[in-house]
Amino acid sequence: MVPGTRAPETYSEKAMDTQVRDPLVGSVVDGRYRVERKLARGGMATVYEALDLRLDRIVALKVMHPSLAEDAGFVSRFEREAKSAARLSHPHVVSVFDQGVDGDVVFLAMEYVSGRTVRDVLRSNGPLTSAQALVILEPVLEALEAAHRAGFVHRDVKPENVLISDDGRIKVADFGLARTIASSTSTAATQGMLIGTVAYLSPEQVERGIADARSDVYGAGILLYEMLTGAVPHGGDTPLAVAYQHVNADVPLPSAVRADIPTSVDALVSQATRRDPDERFGSALEFREAAHAVRASLPAATPLSSRDTMVMPSTTAHPSDPGATVALRPLAATPVAAAAGPAPIPPVALATPAPPSRPPAAKKRKRRWKGPLIALVILALAVAGGAGAWWFGTARYVPVPAVVNLTETAATTKLATVDLKLSVSARQFSETVKSGLIISSNPAATAEARKGSAIAVVVSKGPERYEVPQLAGSTVDDAAAALTDVSLKVAGQKKVYDEKVKAGLVVGTDPEEGTALKRNAAVTLLVSRGPKPVDIPKLVGDDGAASIKALKALGLKVTTSEDYSDSIDAGNVVSVDPSSGTTVAKGSTVNVVLSKGPPPVTVPNVVDLDRDLAISKLKAAGLTVKIEEPLNVTPLNRVLKQSPEAGSVVPKGSSVTIQIV
């Protein structure tokens, strides 16, 4: 999705609305732009639909990712390029209205274009017809032409940056921003920012890091190739591998993938994508004039689908001379064999001048030929004609061997046995053909191809799978964005307890990290609720030391105090606070009261009391009584002595001895 377009509602928008609320939605940026909704997220920025409160109009607000906004050098370059781009005004260029910084938000306000990108069209419709592709290409070249006159080089021409509005207008977006990225210092935030667009970089950008108008011509040629075939010409497992092919391999002809593509369209792609900039079209204007002449020779373009109207034609007049000839340089010396026949693809002239008038017929001279001489000449011509017919019609062509399900090496060897070559036209995912094996060939097996020509093959990349990334510790917003970046989507959230991950952050995923899934497979985010709560166990009467150990094992903190108890033995638990059965958060503090045994008793004074009264008073104080009574003494039945003495403090239940006289 390219900034400035309204995307069809997708899983990501629904998920973001219901699962992950974007904090910027609903806010007002720079006191002027009220953010209405999120449109798309790319490698450099997130794009929102916003209302310009000052001018009461809808704009596309492009907000840089925080990692880029922290790079002061990037922000400075971004501001300079945005100001320059704002001066570029053209019907086929997305206008830049404003740029600024609001706190940690670095933004760009652009024209809002309701519609789709060419990438969206290719995904929904597949490859376009030659006429459809050229109808889209011409306004793109017109926009590039205007930019080049103003001193701009786009540097990043690709389907995502070409917009088709709902009313059929073509707009090109992101002028100047590619330069900002390319110029950025090498930091973790900006390294590899152009990885996604390496398929469209010209050889001089890869080799020397320089770009001019001819670099945009190259990018437009790759764009045309992709619109015609549905894939970029150079593939590889890494950006470096793709870049290497731009520098060291010619772009194949689109007709190697689709045999119905005219040779005149092949010639457009070939000349626009020459590795040497001097051999390409000299300007976007030259490319546009050639494209217009080719389109004029084709049947009219049909709508992209039953609900679409065809895009509007370019607003700029083309060369006024309808008979002007636009010459394209010859194609590669070894053309790809086409199903239509063995004839090589000639250089293309897009308009044919009227044939010259026939010269006056010369007077026939009557000559007499002798019969034997005439017969000899006829015989010689017949022999020569037969040999030529055999050579041009049969001897130069061989049946194409079957190469499907072979490796590139095995297929190359097999083709070489019949003097054919291998050309990889595309690498595609396949659920049925293993990675590295050939899915199809053009021409197909048993068809005839000219000796020395190349057989275009599509090589399998294996099943299209994307690994679930490591998301533990991420915020829900960042986790959702990370899944979107690897072509997966958020299925929802599941709250789980976790001892280590803070509440509200992502604990993990279901399926788990590293699982390989199909494109757009749903992944559930496991979100932490913090540590699991703890129930206080029943401990009253239990051994104190063992109870304290059990509470600590549950992740609780323990404080202790002591108290007397008539019913709990010393050292055992009298009570806990919070009480048993209460649920508390892990890490909470629990106070345990331990028994000191029964409370102490002050021994009452029973000396000189009546025997029975003394015994009753001691028992009432919680003491036991031991009696000493001498023999052969006249009984008075009173207490003479007591031990311990009155006023002594003893444990409850202690024994007090009294002597009776």
CA distance 359 to 434: 65
Residue 190 has pLDDT above 80, yes or no: no
Cα 17 to Cα 10, 13, 45, 505: the distances in Å are 11, 6, 19, 18
User: Residue type at 367?
Assistant: R
* Calpha distance 401→417 (Å, rounded): 9
pLDDT in tens, 192-231: 444 347 889 999 888 887 888 999 999 999 999 999 999 9
Q: Is residue 340 a contact partner of residue 314, using CB atoms and an 8 Å limit?
A: no
176: confidence class by pLDDT, cuts 50, 70, 90: low
CA distance 198 to 192: 10
> Of the ranges 92-106, 332-346, 493-507, which one carries the lowest mean pLDDT score?
332-346
User: Which residue intervals of the chain bear CATH 3.30.10.20?
Assistant: 397-460, 466-528, 534-595, 600-660
Catalytic site includes residue 156: yes
Distance between alpha carbon 621 and the CA centroid of its chain, in Å? 84
All CATH 1.10.510.10 domain ranges of the chain, comma separated, are 11-296
- Residue pointed to by tokens 């690709």: 158
The pair of structure tokens assigned to 655 is: 């024994």
Q: Which of 433, 514, 505 is nearest to 469 (CA)?
A: 514
Q: What percent of the chain has pLDDT over 90?
A: 50
* 8 Å CB contact between 319 and 351: no
**What is the rounded distance in angstroms from the CA atom of residue 104 to the CA atom of residue 8?**
29
Tokens coding 190: 């900006």
Distance of CA 255 to the CA centre of its chain: 32
Model confidence at 556, pLDDT cuts 50, 70, 90, reads: very high
CATH assignment, 534-595:
3.30.10.20
Instruction: Give the pLDDT score at 342.
Output: 29
- pLDDT band, very low/low/confident/very high, at 156 (cuts 50, 70, 90): confident
CATH level 3 topology of 600-660 = Trypsin Inhibitor V; Chain A (3.30.10)
Q: What ranges in 87-234 are assigned the alpha helix state H?
A: 118-125, 130-149, 177-183, 203-208, 213-229
Tell how strand 589-595 and strand 96-102 pair up: unpaired
Domain 11-296 has CATH 1.10.510.10: yes
Give the SS3 label for residue 624.
strand
343-377 residue pLDDT tens: 232 333 333 333 333 334 443 444 444 444 444 54
| pLDDT tens per residue, range 133-154 | 999 999 999 999 998 988 888 8
Stated as kind and residue range, the H or E segment containing 78 is: helix 72-86
Name the catalytic one among 71, 156, 174, 216: 156
Other CB atoms within a 10 A radius of the CB of residue 649 amount to 10
DSSP 443: S
Mean pLDDT of 448-452: 88
The confidence score (pLDDT) of residue 129 equals: 95
What digits encode the pLDDT tens for the residues 259-311? 999 999 999 999 999 999 999 999 999 999 999 999 999 998 887 653 444 44
C-beta neighbour count of 16 within 10 angstroms: 21
pTM comes to 0.47
CATH class of 466-528: alpha beta
| CB-based contacts of 336, cutoff 8 Å, min separation 6 | 252, 253, 255, 256, 423, 453, 454, 456
Quick one: average pLDDT of 121-134?
94
Q: What is the DSSP string of 415-442?
A: HHTTT-EEEEEEEE--SSS-TTBEEEEE
Per the CB < 8 A criterion, the answer to whether 270 and 128 are in contact is: no
Average pLDDT in the 524-540 region?
Answer: 92
Calculate the dihedral angle through the C-alpha atoms of 361, 367, 372, 373, rounding to the nearest 10 degrees. Answer: -60
Please name the fold of domain 397-460. Answer: Trypsin Inhibitor V; Chain A (3.30.10)
Res 158: pLDDT = 93
Per-residue pLDDT, 605: 94
